Structure 1
Amino acid sequence: MSAPIGQHWQQVNECEDLLGVDFLARTFSFAGPKTKVHTTLIHHIGNPDATKAILYVHGYTDYFFQTGLAEHFIDLGYRFYALDLQGYGRSIRPSTPPNWCESIEQYGQDLDIALATIKEDGVDQVVILGHSTGGLVVSTYLAQPYALPERESYYNKAFPEVIGLMLNSPFLALPFPPAVLNFVSWPVRILVSLLPFSYLRAKKINIYSKSLHTVFGGEWDYRLDWKPPRGFDLSFHWLREVIIAQRRLANQRLAIPTLICHSEISTIGKRTVKEIQQGDGVLDVHSMQQAAKKTFTNLTQASIPQGFHDLYLSHQSARTNYLSAMTQWLEKLD
């Protein structure tokens, strides 16, 4: 994990968020690996006196726009926050290529800023919710050697206690079935290590995107410049850092109470929207499950029939089951 960044972050903006009057956005700037970067903390203004909060971290080629997810946790009595990590969504800047990172660990800087700010807002306990690559980011963060008291001392800031972790289809393993995962991981790692500055160009609109956005007949309306249907060009360097983070995490053991939610099946490679929508069209569910069992020693799993890769963006029945699974788990956590 990257060393803490000290007291060098600066809040540069606070305003009503693009999601409307119920949401506030605060932007922070700080020194990234190569240039100044930004991170954006969005929060729902409901339950201002609550001392427990949910912090949501999005996935790859993504940003926070799921207002109904925030409202669900507000209805449960939590405060709700979400991050647009450096290089994503609200935090994209001309000097920062979208999705670029030197290592997965650098997003610990964003999380430090978010948690310290949440504590300043009066929150004492936080449950982190990570989707896809966000699940890898937050798991890597919680496995870091910098324990909470050390971070507090370094920054001279207080942090809330992270009491639980919820994972929505986390990117804990490459999208291959368990039987072939070990055979392909090393060749992929060697390839991306030999070509670290290469990109896989985004050319076609992927079927998963067609299953989501209203412009293609889906249910969701979001910014296509921040979550483009073709995706951003895939950096081989980014992929190498994902593989490294996955392998490191596989050798860690985390005792934090953890809920992993995933679809019942994978639908990778399906050719129609209807087929893709029967399960996770991005990651392999079984490899995800095996990776989670290796790392998390206090693990609860919830399988969501016909859940999409982002379970919240599923059709209503699967979305309801996903929200219910988190609600029930949170009730037991209390």
Structure 2
Amino acid sequence: MSAPIGQHWKLINDCEDLLGADFRARTFAFAGPKTQVHTTLINHLGNPSATKAILYVHGYTDYFFQAGLAEHFIQLGYRFYAIDLQGYGRSIRPSTPPNWCESLEQYGQDLDIALATMKADGVDDVVILGHSTGGLVVSTYLAQPYALPERESYYQKAFPTISGLILNSPFLALPFPPAVLKRVSWPIRILVSLLPFSYLRAKKFTLYAKTIHCAFGGEWDYRLDWKPAQGFDLSFHWLREIIIAQRNLSNQRITIPTLLCRSDSSTIGKKTVQETQQGDAVLDIDSMQAAADKTFSNLSNAVIPQGFHDLYLSQPPARTAYLSAMTSWLETQDNT
């Protein structure tokens, strides 16, 4: 669940971000499930008087580094914010393993902090953009019922209105085709539940990393200590919490206007970089679409030919199509 009413967080750092003078980073400390944790809110300094904003939430083994994405929304007249969740990127600390979580619901505290800070900055309206696991985190957050009247009143006063959701290749289902997913979901869930302290060790560089990082011939330069080419070790406990969150979400109906952006094909298991670059190398697009259709009752879709898993990191034609799809959808929302 999100942080209870009255729980506080502390701003411990406020400085120019590593992305340069156009970006500000604020780090907050608060109580996590076992120890103090940190979350970092980054924002572009453009459009400081605008009251509408985008909040970007990254994926697994990830952090915010896509400055051009921020600049795209600045040009559209929005303010732009991104969060490095507890245990990720700028928020990694020695006290907890990278990417560790007891439950996906704990990231509700990070989102509470981000939204309350944005409200204090003068933002009244937010569209949240969630990539991969970030899409699952945000959807889980939005599905939480604020049943107590005093809680609902608090949120209305302390937070901006969340008027829309954009999902960039969201991790709404395990990476198997629908027919296979039906057969393997329960065995996987039983396995990770029986062995919660086990890990799949990260050893080899992934083909997906080789398609995007400049060290391997890709376009993008990002920190490999925060987004390792081989990934971090995969915790069975984390995977169990993912499966639980996906299952819980499948029983919800989220009515907020939502845009699902995904590739037109999956390239999981391909043997070469060239083959991998033809689509989403991380998730199965058909299972993703089916899960989204089940959960979101006000859903629009944008299928991006040859889009990578992170559509913004795709090659230029697909990246342009992705940005155009979001722009068109936002314009439609503004006119309704």
Residue 209 of structure 1: how far off its partner (Å): 0.3
Q: 1:124 to 1:55 in 2, by over 3 A?
A: same
Write out aligned runs for 1:176-215 (5 A). Answer: 176-215=176-215
Q: What does 1:171-250 correspond to in 2, within 5 Å?
A: 171-250=171-250
The CA deviation at 1:316 is: 0.3
Quick one: structure 1 residues 307 and 165, their matched pair in 2 at CA, closer, same or farther if it must change by over 3 Å? same
Superposed, which structure 2 residues align to 1:77-88 within 5 Å?
77-88=77-88
Whether contact under 8 Å (1:249, 1:295) holds in the other structure is: yes
CA–CA distance in structure 2, aligned partners of residues 239 and 46 of structure 1: 38
What corresponds to 1:89 in structure 2?
89
Distance 2:149 2:313 in 1: 37
In 2: Cα distance, 1:47 partner to 1:199 partner: 44
Separation in 2 of the partners of 1:317 and 1:178? 29
Determine the structure 2 residue equivalent to 1:71. Answer: 71
State the secondary structure of the residue aligned to 1:56. Answer: strand
Query: 1:39 matched to which residue of 2?
Result: 39
Q: Distance in 1 between matches of 2:87 and 2:14?
A: 18
- Cα offset, 1:271, TM superposition: 0.8
Counterpart CA distance in 1 for 2:310 and 2:156 is 37
- CA drift at 1:149: 6.7
- Offset of residue 180 of structure 1: 1.0
> What are the equivalent positions in structure 2 for 1:138-157 lying under 5 Å apart?
138-146=138-146, 150-151=150-151
What is the DSSP-based 3-state SS (H/G/I as helix, E as strand, rest coil) of the residue aligned with 1:247? helix
Q: Which residue identity does 2:250 align to in structure 1? A: A
Offset, 1:231: 0.3
Deviations 1:14-57 (A, max 9, x none): 00000000000000000000000000000000000000000000
How far off its partner does 1:96 sit?
Answer: 1.6
1-structure distance, mates of 2:320, 2:150: 39
SS at 2:282 equivalent:
coil
Q: What SS does the corresponding residue of 1:322 show, helix, strand or coil?
A: helix
> Which residue does the alignment assign to 1:55?
55
RMSD value, Cα: 1.4
Question: What amino acid maps onto 1:144 in structure 2?
Answer: Q
Contact 1:5 1:109 in 2 (8 A): no
| Runs of 5+ unmatched residues, structure 1 | none
- Structure 2 match to 1:328: 328
Residue 212 of structure 2 aligns to a residue whose secondary structure is coil
Q: Deviations over 1:271-322 (max 9, x none)?
A: 1110000000000000000000000000000000000000000000000000
Trace 1:84-123 onto structure 2 (pairs within 5 A).
Answer: 84-123=84-123
Amino acid at match of 1:137: V
Deviation at 1:4, TM superposition (A): 2.4
Q: Distance in 1 between matches of 2:220 and 2:237?
A: 31
Query: What is the DSSP-based 3-state SS (H/G/I as helix, E as strand, rest coil) of the residue aligned with 1:211?
Result: helix
- Length-normalised TM-score, structure 1: 0.98
Partner Cα separation in structure 1 for residue 217 and residue 310 of structure 2: 17
Query: Which stretches in structure 2 are left out of the alignment for 5+ residues?
Result: none
1:145 positional shift = 1.6
Maintained 8 Å contact 2:146/2:152: no
* 1:145-184 per-position Cα deviation (integer Å, ceiling 9, x unaligned): 2269744655896110000000000000000000111110
**Hey, what does 1:259 align to over in structure 2?**
259
Query: 1:110: Cα distance to partner?
Result: 0.2
CA 1:156/1:317 → structure 2, altered by over 3 Å: closer, same or farther?
closer
Amino acid in structure 2 at the alignment position of 1:167: L
**Aligned length, in residue pairs:** 334
Is 1:8 the counterpart of 2:39? The answer is no
Counterpart contact for 2:3–2:112, Cα < 8 Å: no
One-letter amino acid of the structure 1 residue matched with residue 110 of structure 2: D
Matches within 5 A, 1:126-137: 126-137=126-137
Deviation per residue, 1:32-87 (Å, 9 max, x gap): 00000000000000000000000000000000000000000000000000000000
Q: CA deviation at 1:232?
A: 0.3
Identity %: 81
